[in-house]
A and B are shown apart, each in its own frame.
Chain A
Amino acid sequence: DIQMTQSPSSLSASVGDRVTITCRASQSISNSLNWYQHKPGEAPKFLMYAASYSQSGVPSRFSGSGFGTDFTLTISSLQPEDFATYYCQQSYSTPDTFGGGTKVEIK
């Protein structure tokens, strides 16, 4: 199975900060990388596919990049509703595998 490693596992940031989350694959996955946002007690929310294609309705402050093994999710200006846990997921080969998550907390 392809291992997905996210860093950091948690971070503290303030509203308005620029936040970058990294996801690394154990082997090349082309650009088959998805991102999700998860808040406690809620359904996970799909943000992005193919590394950089945003789901309809996702605010433009979210952007993704990367190819091969290294990927990033960037929030250009953190908003109060963005405090959550973010997960990457590779769909390059089955079984799908997820990163361990990055919890974005309020500083």
Chain B
Amino acid sequence: QVQLQESGPGLVKPSETLSLTCAVSGDSISNYNWTWIRQPPGKGLEYIGYIYNIGSPDHKPPHYNPSLKSRVTISVDTSKKQFSLKLRSVTAADTAVYYCARRRLEIITNTYHYYMDVWGKGTTVTVSS
């Protein structure tokens, strides 16, 4: 059974780079798309972006939420079975619980349905000096 575990600093200073890692166990990292989502205190879930299945012949560049695109990089390290999030120039507004998740695709009558079927427990990141 696949499990995901986020890790990284719990405190980041304003203007610095937030770096998180998600370790994948129980399944191949190469066969799926992987995503990051966050939840600021008292607010709803926000999609950050996802990285495509690197094992796919039609592998595409990562997709990012336009609201964060200029500051975000998501990458994958297959040798370590982990994928990563980097968010640059953070402010207090980036304080949140950060989740990693596996993104799946189901095709029903020629319609593509994407969903996150496995999530990590989340890691809290606070941006403060």
Contact = CB atoms under 8 A, between A and B. Distances in A.
B4 A95 contact: no
Given A43-B120, A46-B116, A94-B63, A101 B111 contact: no
Interface string A15-46: 00000000000000011101010000111111
Interface stretch (B42-50, B75-83, B86-94): B42-50
Contacts of B71: none
Given A43-B4, A94-B63, A100 B111 contact: no
Given A46-B115, A87-B45, A97-B47, A53 B99 contact: no
Interface of B: 4, 44-47, 63, 65-67, 99, 101, 106, 108, 111, 113-122
Interface of A: 30-32, 34, 36, 41-46, 49-50, 53, 55, 87, 89, 91, 94-101
